[in-house]
């Protein structure tokens, strides 16, 4: 596998991932899709508020779309 970002996303399709956003929130879910702008689509997503000392998970919609401009990291 190449280390290029889109190749890594391609290899992670239909796998669980963690998406960390600029605002400190993290989303956990199954990577269902992405595009060249690194916009991502998650299925069965959970939202984690990562404010220190106040971590809470909550189920979000069945399908979650995250704009690539807000993404800091995507971990497979």
Q: What percent of the chain lies above the pLDDT cut of 90? A: 57
Q: Which residues pair with 54 in a beta bridge?
A: none
- Domains delineated in the chain: 5-75 (2.30.30.100)
Q: What is the pLDDT of residues 44-66, one digit of tens each?
A: 888 876 445 555 666 666 789 99
* Residues in Cβ contact with 18 at an 8 Å cutoff, skipping those fewer than 6 apart: 26, 27, 28, 73, 74, 75
Helix (H) or strand (E) holding 8: helix 5-11
22 touches 72 (CB < 8 A): yes
Mean pLDDT of 31-36: 96
């Amino acid at each position: 596998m190449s280390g290029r970002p889109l190749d890594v996303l391609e290899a992670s399709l239909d796998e669980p991932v963690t998406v960390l956003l600029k605002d400190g929130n993290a989303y956990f879910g199954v990577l269902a899709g992405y595009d060249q702008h690194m916009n991502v689509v998650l299925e069965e997503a959970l939202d984690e508020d990562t404010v220190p000392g106040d971590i809470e998970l909550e189920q979000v919609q069945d399908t979650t779309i995250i704009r690539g401009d807000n993404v800091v990291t995507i971990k497979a």
